[in-house]
Amino acid sequence: MKRNKYVIANWKMNITKSPHKVIDGVSKHLLKTKKNSCKVVLCPPFTHLATLSTKYKNLDFGGQDCHQHNEGAFTGSVSAYMLKSIGCNYVIIGHSERRNYQKESNHELRMKLIVAEENKLKIVFCIGEKLNQLKIRDKILKKQLSALPSSFNTKNLIIAYEPVWAIGSGKTPSVDEIDRAHIKIRNILNQKYKRKSTNISILYGGSVNSKNSSNILGIKNVDGALVGGASLDKKEFCKIIDSSSR
Ligand code: PGA
């Protein structure tokens, strides 16, 4: 079966002097090229989401996180319901920076996954090992994937394999290592969801740029990329999008 390919921008909490310029460039590029076989999704900080998602109808937008409840006294948080109500169709859940700094547990992540699914958001669920966990990578991936509820609409699920040591470091695993990790993830998903797992796209993330994107996106078991730093630059990000179509 043919799975959807994605190139997803994760702007994190970076300050972009002119977010409209970057998005405008990406939007125009997509309208011009049209040949892109991948879905392009932008995940800017919450403060830009409402204006950007209203203005650029040919692009998809997502939140970088959501709370595990739809509403309530949770100062500083944004819910899946709120994301959906401003026109977002995607949400990133379980990014390693949140697992690390916000100490998000498997239990909390499972609640977020459920609430995001209930709100019909497409979920980009991030998993990946730390450098000191390389030898036990498969065990770590299995544990992180265990946060996924067994009954789940897999049509709304995307996995992003992001080795923590590759994020923002300029280092990436070899093509073979990425392929092996993706095969492992696919096997775990197959066991969990049986036939329903075939439509789950598995993306790679961690230091993807315009120089390595062709190689990475050309890997058989890689269905796209989650891009951090390189997505803040219009030209760089457009080149990555283009390399997904080759
Ligand atoms: P990076 O970040 O591309 O800057 O390494 C990727 C991510 O954290 O999603």
Model pLDDT, residue 127 = 98
At 69, phi and psi to the nearest 5?
A: -120, 160
CB 48 within 8 A of CB 13: no
CB 185 within 8 A of CB 202: yes
Q: Is 162 a catalytic residue?
A: yes
**How many whole angstroms from 170 Cα to the centroid of ligand 1?**
10
CB 15: neighbour CB atoms within 10 A?
A: 8
Model pLDDT, residue 37 = 76
Model pLDDT, residue 224 = 97
Of 172, 155, 153, residue with least CA distance to 225: 172
pLDDT in tens, 107-166: 999 999 999 999 999 999 999 999 999 999 999 999 999 999 999 999 999 999 999 999
Q: Which atom of ligand 1 is nearest to the CA of 96?
A: 8
Q: Which atom of ligand 1 is nearest to the CA of 205?
A: 6
Q: Is 95 a catalytic residue?
A: yes
When pLDDT is cut at 50, 70 and 90, the band that residue 34 belongs to is low
**How many whole angstroms from 228 Cα to the centroid of ligand 1?**
4
Model pLDDT, residue 75 = 97
CB 4 within 8 A of CB 223: yes
CB 167 within 8 A of CB 96: yes
Structure tokens at 102: 């916000």
Model pLDDT, residue 35 = 67
- Whether residue 15 is predicted with pLDDT greater than 90 in this model: the reply is no
- Identify which of 8, 10, 236 to mutate to test ligand 1's pocket (most ligand atoms within 8 A of the CB): 10
pLDDT in tens, 192-238: 999 999 999 999 999 999 999 999 999 999 999 999 999 999 999 99
> Rounded mean pLDDT of the chain?
95
By alpha-carbon position, which residue is closest to atom 3 of ligand 1? 228
Q: Which atom of ligand 1 is nearest to the CA of 231?
A: 3
Which residues have C-beta atoms less than 6 Å from ligand 1?
10, 162, 167-168, 205-208, 226-230
Full-model pTM: 0.97
